[in-house]
Amino acid sequence: MAKLYFRYAAMNAGKSTALLQAAHNYEERGMHVALFTAALDERGGPGVIGSRLGLHRSAATFGPGTVFSRQALPEALACVLVDEAQFLTPEQVHQLHRLANREKLPVICYGLRSDFQGRGFPGAIALLTLADDLEEMKTICACGRKASMNMRIDAQGRRVREGEQVLIGGNESYRAVCPSCFYAEEEEGPQKAPGLFG
C-alpha cells in the first residue's frame, strides 16, 4: 500500500543525503523516481538537491503554485521524493496524500519540523497531521543530547531570536540544538553557543 511518508529532523541531520540514497535504491532496481525541491532553496543552485557529503542531483522545483497531480507527473514512476518539504503549502500536502492513497504512488517528504523560534512550518504541520508514516531522523546537539530544534545564527555568530520565518539570500546560518539548550540560551542571555564540532 502506497503511503505519504514524512522524514523530519533539525538542520544538518542528513535529510538530503537520505533522499538521494532512497532515489538510488529505486533506480538500482530499474525504477524511476521524481525529485522535487523548494524553488527558494538556493544552497545548491536552482533545482538541485545537494547533500553536505558532496552528492548532488538536479530536481524539479515546487513553489506555492505547483500542483501535485498524477497527470503532471511522468507515466512510469515508482516514487515521488520531496526535499525541503516544510515549504509545501497545506494544500500541496493534501495533494501528495491523495497521490499516495488514491493513485498508489509512494511519496517521501524530507524536511524541518520547526523554525528558529520553535514554531512549526505550515508544510510540516500539515505533514505531521496527514502523513501515513512519520519518522524522526536523529542528530546530536553540541551538549550530546538529541537535537530537535534549530537556532538561527547571524554572520557575527550571535543568536537571532526574531525575524521572518524564511530568509532568502541572508548571511545567517543554523545550528541544530536540543530543547534544553534552545531555552537555556534565552534564560542565560546572549552567549556564543559552541559549534557542533568544536
Residues 6+ apart with CB under 8 A from 129: none
Segment near Zn ion (CB under 5 A), from 46-54, 94-102, 126-134, 177-185? 177-185
CB of 167 to Zn ion, least distance (A): 24
Q: Which three cell numbers stand for residue 46?
A: 536552482
Which of 112, 141, 153, 176 forms a contact with Zn ion (CB under 5 A)?
141
Site string for Zn ion, 84-123 (x = CB under 5 A): ----------------------------------------
- The answer to whether 178 contacts Zn ion (rule: CB under 5 A) is yes
Q: Please report, as a single letter, which amino acid is at residue 89.
A: T
- The answer to whether 176 contacts Zn ion (rule: CB under 5 A) is no
CB of 39 to Zn ion, least distance (A): 33
Annotated catalytic residue within 84, 135, 187, 188: 84
Pick between residue 9 and residue 178 the one whose CB is nearest to Zn ion.
Answer: 178
Radius of gyration over every alpha carbon of the chain, rounded to an integer in angstroms: 17
Pick between residue 82 and residue 153 the one whose CB is nearest to Zn ion.
Answer: 153
Pick between residue 100 and residue 178 the one whose CB is nearest to Zn ion.
Answer: 178
| 135 classed as catalytic | no
128: Cα separation from own chain's centroid? 13
- Residues numbered 144 to 173 that lie near Zn ion (CB under 5 A) are 145
Residue whose grid cell is 530568509: 167
Pick between residue 9 and residue 141 the one whose CB is nearest to Zn ion.
Answer: 141
Residues 6+ apart with CB under 8 A from 179: 148, 149
Q: Please report, as a single letter, which amino acid is at residue 107.
A: V
For 25, the enclosing helix (H) or strand (E) is helix 15-28
CB of 110 to Zn ion, least distance (A): 23
Cα separation of 129 and 127, whole Å?
5
- CA-CA distances (angstroms) from residue 143 to 21, 65, 67, 139, 176? 29, 41, 42, 12, 11
Q: Which residues would be at the binding site for Zn ion (CB under 5 A)?
A: 141, 143, 145, 178, 181
